[in-house]
Amino acid sequence: MAIISENAFIKRETIFGEREIAAYQTDDFGNIPQIVYKYLDLSLSTHRASVEKTYAWFADPLNFNDPYDCTTSFAFHLLAENEGLCRGFFEAKLKNQYSGITASELEFEVNKNVQFMVSKKGDYEFFKQMDRDAPDRKKMLSEFGIFCTCMINDNILLWSHYSNKHTGICLGLNAYALLSSFEDRGSGEVKYQDFPLIPPPEDDNDQAILDTFQPIFFNKAKFWNYELEYRFLQYPCKKRDISISNAIESIYFGINTPYDDEKFIIDLCKVLNKGIKLFKAEPAFFKYELEFIAVDY
């Protein structure tokens, strides 16, 4: 991935109106935010360790707090509604199951399966059961690693939810440096829209699994649209802790961050000696907004 321009913008609507988010224009990913933000709760030992050792944790999607996030129900009913899709699915499935199958045998079996699926069109209980009987997808899911960030750093709800009532911190990370620190298999904004209808993978190879799951990982319910989330994806995820020491550009203290935690961060920045900028959040004057004051160290 190469940067084409550093003067791009991503425009997104928020409760405070339209925001212009500074972006890099890249050849592979289009416009990506220049800075992404990670809200952290330093009272959690896992979060504190990730800051102290300067790594990002690429989480197992099975452990996400939203049971709909990264859900893996496949829309098998789409096979009954699209004969071409159905034919491709069974061709790949049968070739995998029977390596010595002849062309005529394959055509016969595919036609038989396609006719059967079409006959079940509208029988959603049948397709629900087909999804339940499908191979174990939890194993597939656990082979992914996802690092969740946000495109803004001043959302009061995010500070409350992910930084423990504004007592934690927020890291400002250079997205290009972050992408350069691991073998990226997908990054992008989360879209807040209706439940995605994803047909089952036609094959069990890495590319087929990646192509199938990616739309699921970058889609969430509309209730979450205040997060403006940006995700980084690894597959297969062989190492969940990835160094971000070269990506940290700034750190923000919450309104209620304890003095000891502020000192912990300041001492860490002195050791890292990378010119990381520090800021302290304060309530805006008669507004439900945050202001950030630079902290010298």
* Residue 199 · residue 78 · CB < 8 Å: yes
* Res 147: pLDDT: 97
Tell me if the bond preceding 283 is cis, omega within 30° of 0. no
Whether the per-residue pLDDT at 72 is higher than 80: the answer is no
Average pLDDT value for the chain = 91
Q: Is the pLDDT assigned to residue 135 strictly greater than 80?
A: no
pLDDT top residue among 1 and 275: 275
How far is the C-alpha of 267 from the C-alpha of 296, rounded, in Å?
12
pLDDT confidence bin for 77, thresholds 50/70/90: very high
| Cα distance between residue 170 and residue 252, in whole Å | 5
Q: Give pLDDT, residue 217.
A: 92
Average pLDDT (95-121) is: 92
Q: How far is CA 197 from CA 120, 219, 233, 247, in A?
A: 18, 11, 21, 35
- What percentage of the chain reaches a pLDDT higher than 90? 68
Residue 59 forms beta bridges with which residues?
146
**Interval 215-230 mean pLDDT:** 92
12-21, 183-192, 266-275 — most confident range: 266-275
- Local structure of residue 227 (DSSP, 8 states): G
How far apart (Å, rounded) are the C-alpha atoms in residues 249 and 277?
6
Using an 8 Å Cβ cutoff, are 24 and 32 in contact?
yes
Q: Coil, strand or helix: which one is 60?
A: coil
Q: Where are the domains of the chain?
A: 3-71+145-295, 77-133
* Predicted pLDDT of residue 145: 94
Kind and range of the H or E run holding 209: helix 206-217
For residues 35-40, average pLDDT = 98
Instruction: Show the 3-state SS of 238-292.
Output: CCCEEECCCCEEEEEECCCCCHHHHHHHHHHHHHHCCCCEEEEEEECCCCCCEEE
Give the whole-angstrom CA distance, residue 148 versus residue 141: 16
